[in-house]
Amino acid sequence: MDQATPIRGRRHWSSLAALCLLMLCAPGREAVAVLQSASTFVQCFADGNNNFHATECTRGGFPGVPASAFASASLTPSPSVSVEVTSPPAAVLGAGADANSTYYFQVTGGNAGDVVPIMVDYALSVFSTAESSALAKIIIRTSVVPFTVDEIACNPQVCDETEVSDTLNIQAQSGANFDSVTLYALAQAPVTRLSHETARAFVDPFIYVDPAFASASLYSIVVSPGVANVPLTPVPEPGSVVLLSIGIVAIGLLRRRSRLQA
């Protein structure tokens, strides 16, 4: 009797193992994999001084190096890249900066291989003075749509738009492991000896399942570890900020007057 018990135990665990293997290998069953880590890289150049870093760099802007450059690549609280450069008339070689970030995402839920419509809200902004240039770009790759790009540029030849807030409508397969987002920003300010040159660029996205999709509730978006995927926060217009500030000051004065009268 004592010898029979271990045998039944082995049979029991063998059955569980076979069941687990069957569940993992069954057709249509999605296996959620750990996504690749995100990668970021920035570089700054100001009057011959270079600086490289994974997430942030600053160069110049001090005596002897009047040109300045700044670049940043962030993964939280929202994935974004940002660059800004300046080159005053006293600059020697000018300034440049670029930043890029790539992270991965996966549609989860339903059955592996389901084609799911997804949406990417994004904000691109650029600014440059007469002789400078700026570029902001977002690149989306999925197993269904291998290459989707949107960008805006501002350079001495053309600067049609300086801000774009829009939505990309694309498709992805549930369970695909190599869907990715790449953000890129570039700014360059040359030396003119006559003018103060400035340029900046910024990129910020948010990915989600198309809510108009009949089965949208079955799916969700997972992104690389350490990356936040949150709705974009609208940037208030300068006029709105001024009105808000005036309102806050007015409220403060009214409260102060009430205390004095009391």
Q: Is 254 left (phi over 0), alpha (psi -120 to 50) or beta?
A: alpha
262 residues of the chain, pLDDT tens digit each: 444 443 333 334 344 344 333 333 334 444 456 899 999 999 999 999 999 999 999 999 998 999 999 999 999 999 999 999 999 999 999 999 999 999 999 999 999 999 999 999 999 999 999 999 999 999 999 999 988 999 999 998 888 789 999 999 999 999 999 999 999 999 999 999 999 999 999 999 999 999 999 999 999 999 999 999 999 865 444 344 334 334 433 434 444 444 445 5
Distance between CA 77 and CA 185 in Å, rounded?
Answer: 18
DSSP-based three-state secondary structure for 137: strand
Distance between CA 85 and CA 193 in Å, rounded?
Answer: 16
Close Cβ partners of 94 (under 8 Å, ≥ 6 residues apart):
46, 47, 67, 87, 188, 189, 190, 191, 197
